[in-house]
Amino acid sequence: MNEWHETIGTYEDVLIMLDGFLKEKSKFVWDVFYSDRERGVPFFVNAPDENLVEYLRVGRLPPQGVALDLGCGPGRNAVYLAELGYAVDAVDLSVEALRWAEERAKERNVNVRFILDNLFDFEAGEAEYDLIYDSGCLHHIAPHRRPDYIKLLRKALKPGGFYAVVCFVENGPLGGAAISDWDVYRLGSLQGGLGFTPEKLKRIFKDFRPIEIRAMRDMKQPNDRFGHSGLLTALFQKLVEAPVHENGET
């Protein structure tokens, strides 16, 4: 073992160390996961999340704009937004997932900018997006990386922009470990994906205004929407910061 590479001198060194501890116990590979398209994974269906459809139907989200899909997987939500007229960037770290997503976009004749990248290396522009959507990424993010995730949201969302997330509910049928963030490091594992409650989401995203947090509605397949009650959905809005005047008052 090279002792030089295990010397901690910066905050980034700490993050890399913690990444390494969790990775050592995980044998999961996303490209392998997405390589078998017939494996019966619920969210492999070619349909958008029911909550996303609902947000747009009732006017909780703008009908068009610029969107970022974090951990887009096979692209079903990115393609749906593009069909509605959104300009969409979709990021994922799996080559296999993006290959599948590009095929779906081509089939629907829509343009989506698919980006192969780790979301923590992704360079988002300042106040670039009206909507940032995450369906299934948050629960796979280690707690020590969460501040950088929130930093990305704060930077990339326009003032008044929206953040929506779909994640495991605690002890749900699809997964959702009911462990504390500290337990992740005691156990050396995310236990397949962390579970969340409405209270925990509100605490994590305390700098955003919660609009709705609820269980996802079950959608029996085949269907033009995807939904599973083992998942939690949430919609937040980035607060519009009051301007600071020369005297320091807002």
pLDDT tens, residue by residue, 74-84: 999 999 999 99
Give dist(CA 158, CA 132) in Å, integer: 10
Residue 2, pLDDT score: 54
Give dist(CA 27, CA 25) in Å, integer: 7
Segment 50-62 shows an average pLDDT of 98
Domain ranges of the chain: 3-238
For the CA atoms of the chain, what is the radius of gyration?
19
User: Sign of torsion, CA 99 102 104 106?
Assistant: negative
CATH of domain 3-238: 3.40.50.150
**pTM for the full model?**
0.91
pLDDT digits (tens, 9 = 90+) for 19-37: 888 875 556 788 898 988 9
Torsion on CA atoms 208, 210, 81, 54, rounded to nearest 10: -170
Mean pLDDT of the chain: 92
Q: What's the number of CA atoms in the CB half-sphere (13 Å) around residue 40?
A: 1
Segment 165-182 shows an average pLDDT of 96
Structure tokens, 190: 């995310």
Indicate whether 5 pLDDT > 80: no
Bridge partners, residue 92, by sequence? 116
Q: Residue 134 belongs to what H/E stretch?
A: strand 129-135
Give dist(CA 156, CA 67) in Å, integer: 10
Phi/psi-derived region of residue 59, left when phi > 0, alpha when psi is between -120 and 50, beta in every other case = left
Residue 249, pLDDT score: 47
